[in-house]
Amino acid sequence: MGRDEGFHRRLTVITGFMLLISAVLIARLLSFQFRMDPAVKSRLESQAQNRYSQTVEVYPNRGQIYDRNGNLLAVNSFEYRIGISPNQVVNRAETARKLAPLIDVPEDEIYRKLQPGPDGKLSTYVLLKPVVGFEAGQAIMDLELPGMVIEPLPTRIYPEGELTAQLVGIFRDSDASRTRRGYWGVEGFYQTLLAGQSKKVTTSAIPVLQEAASITRVRDGIDLVLTIDRDLQFLAQEILNWAVQREQATGGTILIMNPRTGEILAIANYPMFDPNSLTPENIQRARNPAIADVYEPGSVFKIITMAMALQAGTHDETWSYNDPGCFNPGGTRICNWDGAAHGNQTFIDVFVNSWNTGTSTIFMQMAQQLGGPYAVYDMLKEFGIGSPTGVDLEGEAAGILPEPGDLDWNEAQFFTTSFGQGVAVTPLQMLTAANAIANDGLIMQPHIVKKRIDGNEVIETRPAATHRPISVEVAHRARDIMVRIVEDPASLDKYEFTRFKVAGKTGTAQIPIPGGYDPSGSIASFVGFLPADDPVVSVLVKLDRPINYWGSQAAAPVFQELVERLVVLMEIPSDQERYQLIAQGGDPFSREY
């Protein structure tokens, strides 16, 4: 046997032996796999899946918010959550040096996070910064550093800033989790519609495959067009800021509505809220006082008493009483604002001169003739007193209307309710009730969303009536008395309207404190609408603790200043122009209000 022949024989034997061993090993491996403990098998499969795939939540575009003229009030942007996989970092020192100035974290702190743990192993993920801005996130992406994990976080930009912040609301983290949602205002109330529907998607961890599988369709949020007019909003806020400064008031609200439709055209509050600042002091201002804060309205509430008495038929314009100046019904002393007696006073005198004794007497006689105070409270509820208006803004308060049987009710409170004391309303609740007089007895549902845009579908909000507390005739009679109030000669030194007839009422409310009322301050207000005989706009002005105590001195001039500029902005023709247009067969209100 030659040397070559012997070598080939040995090689054949060795090759056959190795093939035999390989076959045995493969058989053992297959046997191990198929006979594996199910729990162990499941755990290994899960680890393999996690290594080569990842489940992420794909967020839709949040619906944008516009004013009625198409001006953007809330638009989408992104922030970023910055993390890193230390086991994929190539140069730890260089990575720390480049990231530090972009995420505002010390370089040595980043470097420490990139080191192996106590077990000597490098972590698969470390959070470096919970949130960075859009520019910083983009800059980090441009670095193309190995191991970076840059998660986009949807956020909002509010182009109008403080001007509309309290009515639009904000979009922020909801808790310690990674979810975000809308809070307050429109953002909170319409959270579900604005948010759309996100989707959890499993994608490949291999970059090439991940890019190919990244197209995932989600349902974007619905855009909202508000009833708010940005120009009117600016005007209302400018006038309010001026009034607060002039009167050295601690706060205030101006509300503008269309009483025919229930549309809210402007809501201005002071202090204002900055949507870009999340300091505790600023966050306290995020709620909207026009819907969230209750106050005792004082004499503006007397227009509700007037309309109720006319509707019940217990009183009319011919009714009169002998004004004592002060009297003691229900065990409490009630006095007129001037403390003086005025002898015989008519129904109209009670409201033109704002006599507390007169409204208290009317309440007392209504209860006597209608079978008790319950009937009076039922009529108050028809005006929406003590109940939320249902406005589409998050955070609305219901108001306070103590009734017989409640622990905090007493007979004296029944009488003081007639002039707005012992009952609490929100500014929106008060103006909505007054709108019944402006709108022929119908209360329209107050709302702030004019239409919703879902792709190519546009859904208009249809005006809807919620209550009819008074008839058309009673509304007109009450309106005429409100015109008499504004035109009363005693008030001409404080406010006057030459181009329009205005219906209105002043209010001066005491501020409740433990044990009674604060003698050092008041809430001054004015509620009115115009043109009086065909209203297209209603306004509430409220000032907290002005230096001029009375509503006629503090709030009425603010109403006048606002209205004189508002009618120009809204292109409301004067009464004379309106009558001429009607006589010629034209429509003075052909434009939308």
Of the candidates 536, 533, 538, the one whose C-alpha atom is nearest the C-alpha of residue 476 is: 533
- pLDDT for res 325: 95
152 vs 359, residue with greater confidence: 359
Distance between CA atoms of residues 506 and 540, nearest Å: 10
Same structural domain, 211 and 318: no
Distance between CA atoms of residues 508 and 388, nearest Å: 23
pLDDT beyond 50 at 479: yes
- Residue 358 · residue 440 · CB < 8 Å: no
- Which residues, other chains included, contact 589 with Cβ-Cβ below 8 Å and sequence gap of 6+? 534, 536
- Where a domain ends, among 226, 259, 278? 226
pLDDT beyond 90 at 11: no
Least confident residue range of 9-13, 225-229, 497-501: 9-13
Taking only the tens place, the pLDDT of each residue in 161-171 is 999 999 999 99
Mean pLDDT throughout 554-581? 93
Element (H, E) at 255: strand 251-258
Query: CA 339 from chain center: how many Å?
Result: 42
Return the biggest CA–CA distance within the chain. Answer: 149
Same structural domain, 317 and 383: yes
- pLDDT for res 584: 86
| Most confident range, picked from 88-92, 138-142, 267-271 | 267-271
Quickly count: other Cβ atoms within 10 Å of residue 499's Cβ: 16
Q: How far is CA 588 from CA 37, 479, 536, 574, in A?
A: 85, 21, 11, 10
Q: Total domain count for the chain? A: 2
Least confident residue range of 133-147, 465-479, 539-553: 133-147
Same structural domain, 326 and 211: no
- Residue 470 · residue 309 · CB < 8 Å: no
Mean pLDDT throughout 579-585? 87
Mean pLDDT throughout 384-405? 95
- DSSP 8-state assignment for residue 424: B
Element (H, E) at 368: helix 356-370
Same structural domain, 221 and 237: no
- pLDDT for res 140: 94
77: left (phi over 0), alpha (psi -120 to 50) or beta: beta
Half-sphere exposure of 339 toward its Cβ, with a 13 Å CA cutoff? 0
Same structural domain, 104 and 144: yes
pLDDT beyond 90 at 346: yes
What is the DSSP secondary-structure string of 12-31? Answer: HHHHHHHHHHHHHHHHHHHH
- pLDDT for res 585: 82
CATH number, domain with residue 82: 3.90.1310.10
Same structural domain, 494 and 576: yes
- pLDDT for res 226: 98
Same structural domain, 392 and 459: yes
Amino acid at 156: R
Strand 170-173 to 72-84 pairing:
unpaired
- pLDDT for res 109: 94
Residue 517 lies in a domain: yes
Same structural domain, 185 and 249: no
Least confident residue range of 111-125, 297-311, 536-550: 111-125
Mean pLDDT throughout 486-498? 73
pLDDT beyond 80 at 534: yes
- Which residues, other chains included, contact 435 with Cβ-Cβ below 8 Å and sequence gap of 6+? 257, 259, 262, 443, 444, 529, 538
**Assigned token pair, 275:** 């949507």
**Assigned token pair, 126:** 């470390």
Same structural domain, 312 and 377: yes
Same structural domain, 144 and 246: no
Distance between CA atoms of residues 350 and 418, nearest Å: 12
Give me the domain span that covers residue 188: 59-226
| 120-135 CB burial, b ≥16 within 10 A, e <16 | eebeeebebbeebeee
Q: The pTM is what?
A: 0.84
- pLDDT for res 491: 59
Task: Give the confidence band of 498 by pLDDT, cuts at 50, 70, 90.
Answer: confident
Mean pLDDT throughout 416-427? 96
- pLDDT for res 60: 81
Q: How far is CA 409 from CA 309, 332, 424, in A?
A: 22, 13, 13
Taking only the tens place, the pLDDT of each residue in 170-227 is 998 755 445 788 999 999 999 999 998 766 655 554 444 444 445 556 788 999 999 9
332 vs 541, residue with greater confidence: 541
Instruction: Name the average pLDDT for the chain.
Output: 88
- Residue 188 · residue 169 · CB < 8 Å: yes
pLDDT beyond 90 at 120: no
| Most confident range, picked from 217-226, 266-275, 406-415, 482-491 | 266-275
